[in-house]
Structure formats: structure tokens, C-alpha cells
Amino acid sequence: MTEFNLFAVEGVLWLGVIILVVYGPWQRLCVDYARDIIFEQRDRVFDVAASGHLQFGDARYEKVRAQMNAMIRMAHCITAPRLVLLIAYGTQSRAGTSRNDIWDSIKQIPEEETRTIVADAMSRVEMTAIHLMIARSPILLLLYGLAKAFGKISQMRKMIGDTVVETLEQAIAYEAR
């Protein structure tokens, strides 16, 4: 075997190892990490309710908690290919809860400090879903790294962020019914 052939074989072996890691343990690690963050945010909202600033039976609390529970349950479904299909073919939410409904509910919380805490928790959950989708896709991860390196993330984030979050929220509401 020539030196070139050895490099080619080694390259193919390393590519196989990378593919096994990215589509094996890395996927589970990303989902578990995202679920941990969502659990923390759900617990944060629970603590607000336990302290008496938000009632457990309140519809606003129930909507936020139900959405976070759905995100925990459906975290393994958040992938870039699914997002592309959902954007292309749209989703119909039978659950009747959209992202706007949840944010409208949060805006109706009378106490400013409580509203800020719940809104921050929900924002973190949404960003976790986007980061999960990016981390699970080698192509998106590479594009994210390149965009970050060239300082274009803040421009791109606003441009596509709302569409991605809206579509993910609709899909999770649909899947969680």
C-alpha cells in the first residue's frame, strides 16, 4: 500500500468515527442537555407559582407549563429536516395553542416581576429549541460556526429566528396534543 492509500483509508475510518459519534451519542447528549435546560425553566416557573405570585390553576400558568412539558416530551423531534418540511408544508395545530397565545398569556400576568421571570423562562426554552436544532445538524453547526466567526449571527438570528420559533412552536403544539 502506498502512503496515499494509507491516508485515504485513515480518512475514511475517521469519517466513519465522526459520523457514528454525530449520529449516535451526540444526538442523545444534545436532547438530554436541552431537556435539562427546559426542566430548569419549568421548575423556575413552578417556583414562582409556589411562592404565590402566580396561581397553579391559572390558565396562564397552565398554558406556559403545558408548552414547556410538550417541549420536554418532543425534544427528540426537533431537527432541521423536520423544520424544513414543516415550513414547506405547514402545520395545523389541533391543540389550539400557538406561540402568540402563550405570549399573550404571559403579557396578561398582572405582576411585572412575575411576568418578567415567566417571559425570560419561555424565551430560554425557545432559544434552547433553536440551539438543539443547530447542534443536532452537522451542516447547521458548521454554518453557525462560520457565521459566528464572521460576525453575522446577530443579523441572521433576527431574520430567521422568528420563523423558526413559530414553526417549532406550532409543530410541538401539534405533536403534543
pLDDT band for position 19 (50/70/90)?
confident
pLDDT band for position 3 (50/70/90)?
confident
Q: Cell numbers 419561555 correspond to what residue? A: 122
Cβ atoms of 68 and 173 within 8 Å: the answer is: no
Q: Cell numbers 443547530 correspond to what residue? A: 134
Q: Please check the confidence at residue 88 and state whether its pLDDT lies above 60.
A: yes
- Sign, CA dihedral 17-22-23-26, equals positive
pLDDT band for position 102 (50/70/90)?
confident
DSSP annotation of 92: -
Give the percent of the chain with pLDDT over 70. Answer: 80
Amino acid at 98: S
Number of H helices, E strands in the chain: 8, 0
Q: Please check the confidence at residue 122 and state whether its pLDDT lies above 90.
A: yes
pLDDT band for position 128 (50/70/90)?
very high
d(CA 76, CA 132): 9
d(CA 112, CA 128): 24
Give the percent of the chain with pLDDT over 90. Answer: 32
Q: How many CA atoms lie within 13 A of 169 on its CB side?
A: 23
**Three cell numbers at 144?**
453557525
Q: Identify the pLDDT of residue 37.
A: 96
**Three cell numbers at 113?**
416581576
Q: Identify the pLDDT of residue 161.
A: 66
d(CA 176, CA 145): 32
Q: Please check the confidence at residue 171 and state whether its pLDDT lies above 90.
A: no
14-18, 43-47, 52-56, 97-101, range with the lowest pLDDT: 97-101
Domain spans, the chain: 33-175
Q: Please check the confidence at residue 95 and state whether its pLDDT lies above 60.
A: no
Cβ atoms of 121 and 67 within 8 Å: the answer is: no
d(CA 120, CA 36): 16
End-to-end CA distance of the chain: 59
Higher confidence at residue 27 or residue 99?
27
Q: Identify the pLDDT of residue 1.
A: 64
pTM of the model: 0.75
